[in-house]
Structure 1
């Protein structure tokens, strides 16, 4: 398959490298020093499953130069999706489809608003990774996993082709019976870990061990669960318990990317995670007091990171 990775940072870089290593025709859309390093040295992945390097790589900062592809894997941060959708238009032909891999549950609608619903699948991934230097990705935890599917949950040959490509690359990939349930299950996990982690600045091993912060994790997951159910997402009854089990399985030093971005003073996915729980909850009349506290507490840091306000 001809696969474009739009946003070749941690997530996009890792999965794109695995696909390229397996022989797929992968084009990385990147920029700045990261792009220069990839063009010069290839893409190096440090992984708990074994380090590897992909070289040479096809990489560019100009989507128009790529032309239509089979699939676009969208690896940008959640807040960058609307702009990315506009930029990827030249790569979207009649048969092209886009798969969002970022955190949150709103990306499919944002992509569909620009590209058309027929060009979009729902999608998600699970992995702990980061870009540690230009041209260098570190996979530090979790078995890499992707899931995707048609927005109406019908079986489709195109989704199966992509699943097979990931399988050839040694990445566990699934087409779940209900992609919206799968995305919301991931959402429960990531908005809980990100929000509580960012407001406490502690790694997951600490959060799940101290009784008070463990209760925060449980409450955050329960609030997101209530919002999903109120929005007619068929989340299973034990979704909160499964979220906590996943949190309990993480390496003790694990942190979420939103947490790391906020601590480092970078723009983050706050609006697409805890902000989204608050916003989507209000739309269906579901109170989310802990997510409101987290969202409101982190807003000053978020707005400073975006240059909207200044303070020491």
Structure 2
């Protein structure tokens, strides 16, 4: 497959490297600053599932240099998604399908409106990874889930082709027939996990030690379950418990990417995640007091 990675941060560089390792033709579409860093240091991942390095990765800064792509993996932060619009229009205009693996839900309908419903797949990932000073990926978890699926009947073939490629990689991924529900389940989990860790400025272990603090995560999970149902997606109570259990079983020093960004003084995805949930809730008359409170506590750190 010809795969383009838009957003060669920790997530994009990791999955792009794993695709490259399995024999796919991978091109990284990046900004000038990241291009210079990659040209100098290459792309390298350090991972419990095996290290891998691309000494001379194929990188471009101009989308017109890409003549063909089967699939575009979009792994930018939520606040950068609008900046990918022109590149995605060019690539889908040449027949590529788009697999966004952003957190949240709002971007799906936005991309469908801009690119056409047939070109936008559903996708999400579960991975804990960050970039070091050289721009190399430090994958610190033992999981690297990449879940995808069709949102339209016309996407069966591309999803099957990607599934075939996945079998050759070290990625733990699958073609999920209920991808919309999986997107909402991930949104539920990450809204609670990123919200509480970022607002408290603590890793999950410290939050778990205080029952009153951990209760906030439980209440946000419940609010997101109610919100999903308002959008005709039924999240079961046992699936809420599974999300809670996941937070209880994570290593004590685990934290969210949003919390990592707060620590680094970087821009935060709070409007894309929590703000998006609040906008969706207002549109259907759902009350989300815990989510609104967390949103308000994080908001002052959004544009550091």
Task: State the TM-score, normalizing by the size of structure 2.
Answer: 0.95
SS in 2 for 1:263: helix
Aligned to 2:184: 184
State how far apart, in whole Å, the 1-side matches of 2:78 and 2:100 are: 9
| Range with greater deviation from structure 2 (38-47 or 240-249) | 38-47
State how far apart, in whole Å, the 2-side matches of 1:16 and 1:289 are: 39
| Range with greater deviation from structure 2 (191-200 or 100-109) | 100-109
Aligned to 2:97: 97
The 8 Å contact of residues 188 and 221 in structure 1, kept in 2 or not, is answered as yes
In structure 2, the CA distance between the partners of 1:252 and 1:153, relative to structure 1 (3 Å rule), is farther
State how far apart, in whole Å, the 2-side matches of 1:206 and 1:109 are: 37
Question: How far apart are 1:79 and its partner, in Å?
Answer: 1.7
In structure 2, the CA distance between the partners of 1:217 and 1:153, relative to structure 1 (3 Å rule), is farther
Question: How far apart are 1:94 and its partner, in Å?
Answer: 4.6
State how far apart, in whole Å, the 2-side matches of 1:264 and 1:54 are: 27
The 8 Å contact of residues 98 and 119 in structure 2, kept in 1 or not, is answered as yes
Question: How far apart are 1:50 and its partner, in Å?
Answer: 2.4
Which of the two has greater helix per residue? 2
The 8 Å contact of residues 41 and 135 in structure 1, kept in 2 or not, is answered as yes
Q: Deviations over 1:248-283 (max 9, x none)?
A: 222211111112223333211101211122111111
- 1:9 corresponds to 2:22: no
Aligned to 1:309: none
Question: How far apart are 1:155 and its partner, in Å?
Answer: 6.9
Aligned to 1:45: 45
Aligned to 1:217: 217
State how far apart, in whole Å, the 1-side matches of 2:80 and 2:41 are: 27
State how far apart, in whole Å, the 2-side matches of 1:275 and 1:37 are: 33
The 8 Å contact of residues 68 and 93 in structure 1, kept in 2 or not, is answered as no
The 8 Å contact of residues 76 and 102 in structure 2, kept in 1 or not, is answered as yes
State how far apart, in whole Å, the 2-side matches of 1:237 and 1:197 are: 23
Residues 117-132 of structure 1 aligned to structure 2 (within 5 Å): 117-132=117-132
Count of equivalent residues = 304
The 8 Å contact of residues 262 and 301 in structure 1, kept in 2 or not, is answered as yes
State how far apart, in whole Å, the 1-side matches of 2:167 and 2:144 are: 11
Aligned to 1:294: 294
The 8 Å contact of residues 150 and 179 in structure 2, kept in 1 or not, is answered as yes
Question: How far apart are 1:154 and its partner, in Å?
Answer: 7.5
State how far apart, in whole Å, the 1-side matches of 2:110 and 2:155 are: 22
SS in 1 for 2:132: strand
Aligned to 1:156: 156
Q: Deviations over 1:38-72 (max 9, x none)?
A: 22332111112222212221011111211331000
- 1:110 corresponds to 2:118: no
The 8 Å contact of residues 33 and 134 in structure 1, kept in 2 or not, is answered as no
Unaligned segments of structure 1, at least 5 residues = 306-312
State how far apart, in whole Å, the 2-side matches of 1:55 and 1:160 are: 30
State how far apart, in whole Å, the 2-side matches of 1:136 and 1:269 are: 22
Aligned to 2:193: 193
Q: Deviations over 1:124-168 (max 9, x none)?
A: 011000111243011011411111111147871110111221221
Please give the root-mean-square deviation of Cα atoms over the aligned residues, in Å. 1.6
State how far apart, in whole Å, the 2-side matches of 1:154 and 1:212 are: 47
